[in-house]
Amino acid sequence: MSATIVAVRAVTAELVAAFERLLPQLSPGAPPLDAVALAEIVDSPATELFVARDGDGGVGVGAGTVVGAVTLVVFRIPSGLRARIESLVVDRDARRRGVGEALCRAALARASERGVDTVDLTSSPARDAANGLYRRLGFTLRGTNVYRWAR
Ligand SMILES: CC(C)(COP(=O)(O)OP(=O)(O)OC[C@H]1O[C@@H](n2cnc3c(N)ncnc32)[C@H](O)[C@@H]1OP(=O)(O)O)[C@@H](O)C(=O)NCCC(=O)NCCS
């Protein structure tokens, strides 16, 4: 595998096109992300977006192509500085070559750099690959109830 992980600093048409491909592979029902929504993620001090680029065509879709993404969220609450890994996705054609792991490791390294001690995430039990990957990276299950309020 030869994928390069880069922190996104600006929204380009290429990035918008990449999310058109990737987002349905993460959340089939999610509305498409336009440039404005992507800029909100990129410009916010609370979120950092990382993408994986196929380094040499070796992960199957062509050199330089964006083949995956992950978002790191960092925020301070009374109990401390917290972080979450969100929206990890790797293009179907580039999976099982370590791209997901590389994206997670980049997000974890950045979280450490920002002084975060723990990183949380949630993943549906049905997501076999994601749960396998997170466990392999050292994430452990917490005994907590996850709630959602919906408008
Ligand atoms: C989860 C995902 C990002 C992993 O990306 P990836 O580039 O394939 O990840 P890696 O190659 O670094 O690691 C894959 C690891 O996942 C695990 N894995 C992959 N497929 C698996 C499966 N069917 N069953 C169990 N574990 C599996 C293994 O631990 C595997 O490592 P291995 O190939 O060395 O055995 C990718 O499958 C994906 O985008 N899935 C759809 C979106 C998603 O579920 N995102 C997570 C949201 S919480």
The model's pLDDT over 75-112, given as tens digits with 9 standing for 90+, comes to: 999 999 999 999 999 999 999 999 999 999 999 999 99
pLDDT at 57 over 80: no
Place of tokens 């890994």: 85
The token duo for 85 is 């890994």
Q: What is the pLDDT of residues 58-72, one digit of tens each?
A: 665 667 999 999 999
In this structure, are strands 3-7 and 47-54 parallel, antiparallel, or unpaired? antiparallel
Instruction: Note the pTM of the prediction, 2 decimals.
Output: 0.94
In this structure, are strands 80-90 and 119-120 parallel, antiparallel, or unpaired? parallel
To test the ligand 1 pocket, which listed residue (124, 133, 139, 146) has its Cβ within 8 A of the most ligand atoms?
Answer: 133
